[in-house]
């Protein structure tokens, strides 16, 4: 009796539907992903239990980096279309008698990162192509009472976009007096509501209080 020969074919699975599904998912995730430009300063935010996500639009951020330098950023979200950034820079220029050309304003609009450059160096900063040179120019925005540029940035940001909300992104190790100074400047400009940017941490409060 002849043996029944079993085919040695390897069992193949039709992967086409799987590939279809994966392509669909991939397209979805690529399209919904928002690409944020690399921040100019590294900031390790402290942790908190707050679960409120950060808003996308109408935002201005004051960054306090590890080395106590102050950076400022306005609307890096969808309201770039409304062109707040160049308007704010133009106002700043007017105050300091610096005439920014249309090209420079456009360049400032395109760079979505926060700026830590004194306004006097802004032209040089925008003109430079070299990233090392740019980092060298980032001395932080002056906040002393002689030349309080941060206060002016805040003032103009609020004038151009009255709906703007304030974010403070501070490094966990920044000494508190620096933060206090920034809060004071904001309060001088009648901003009393802040959003501190933090990373999420989970804490369970299950303590049964023992009597």
Partner 1 sequence: MADIQVEEKSKGGKKKPKKGDARVDMTPMVDLMSLLITFFMLTAAFSKPKVMEIVLPEKIKKDEKVEPPKIAESRTLNIILGPEDVVYWYPGKADPDVTVLQETDFSPTGIRQVLLERNRALFRKIDQFEKDVISGKIDIRQDSLRSAISQLKKDDDTGPIVLIKAYKTSKYKNFVDIIDEMSIVGIARYTFTDIDWIEEKLVVDAINRAAPVAPGSVQ
The residues of the shown chain that bind partner 1, judged by CB under 8 A, are 12, 15-16, 18-19, 22-23, 25-26, 29-30, 32-34, 36, 45-55, 64, 167, 169-180, 183-184, 187-188, 190, 192-200, 203, 205, 207, 209
Distance CA 38, CA 90 (A): 24
As measured in angstroms, the least distance from the Cβ of 36 to partner 1 is: 7
As measured in angstroms, the least distance from the Cβ of 28 to partner 1 is: 9
66 burial level (CB within 10 Å; 0-12, 13-18, 19+): middle
208 DSSP assignment: P
Q: Phi and psi dihedrals of 49, rounded to 5?
A: -90, 0
State which residue, 55 or 136, has the beta carbon closest to partner 1: 55
Distance CA 211, CA 199 (A): 34
State which residue, 102 or 202, has the beta carbon closest to partner 1: 202
Residues 6+ apart with CB under 8 A from 59: 74, 75, 76, 77, 164, 165, 167
As measured in angstroms, the least distance from the Cβ of 149 to partner 1 is: 21
As measured in angstroms, the least distance from the Cβ of 131 to partner 1 is: 23
State which residue, 5 or 29, has the beta carbon closest to partner 1: 29
As measured in angstroms, the least distance from the Cβ of 55 to partner 1 is: 8
Sequential DSSP letters for 75-126: --SGGGGGTHHHHHHHHHHHHTT----HHHHHHHHH--S-B---GGGHHHHH
As measured in angstroms, the least distance from the Cβ of 133 to partner 1 is: 29
- Antiparallel, parallel or unpaired: β 165-170 and 59-64: parallel
State which residue, 1 or 31, has the beta carbon closest to partner 1: 31
State which residue, 98 or 167, has the beta carbon closest to partner 1: 167
State which residue, 55 or 82, has the beta carbon closest to partner 1: 55
């Amino acid at each position: 009796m002849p043996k029944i020969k079993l085919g040695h074919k390897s069992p193949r699975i039709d992967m086409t539907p799987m590939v279809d599904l994966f392509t669909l998912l991939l397209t979805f995730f690529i399209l919904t992903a928002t690409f944020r430009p690399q921040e100019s300063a590294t900031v390790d935010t402290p942790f908190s239990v707050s679960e409120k996500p950060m808003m996308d639009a109408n935002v201005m951020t004051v960054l306090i980096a590890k080395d106590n330098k102050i950076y400022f950023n306005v609307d890096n979200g969808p309201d770039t279309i409304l062109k707040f950034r160049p308007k704010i820079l133009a106002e700043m220029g007017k105050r300091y008698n610096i005439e920014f050309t249309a090209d420079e304003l456009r360049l400032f609009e395109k760079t979505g990162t926060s700026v830590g450059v004194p306004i006097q160096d802004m032209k040089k900063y925008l003109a430079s192509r070299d990233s090392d040179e740019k980092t060298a120019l980032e001395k932080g925005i002056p906040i002393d009472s002689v030349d309080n540029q941060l206060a002016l940035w805040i003032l103009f940001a609020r004038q151009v976009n009255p709906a703007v909300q304030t974010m403070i992104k501070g490094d966990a190790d920044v000494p508190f007096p620096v933060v206090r100074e920034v809060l004071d400047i904001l309060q001088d400009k009648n901003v009393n509501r802040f959003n501190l940017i933090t990373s999420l941490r989970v804490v369970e409060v299950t303590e049964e209080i023992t009597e």
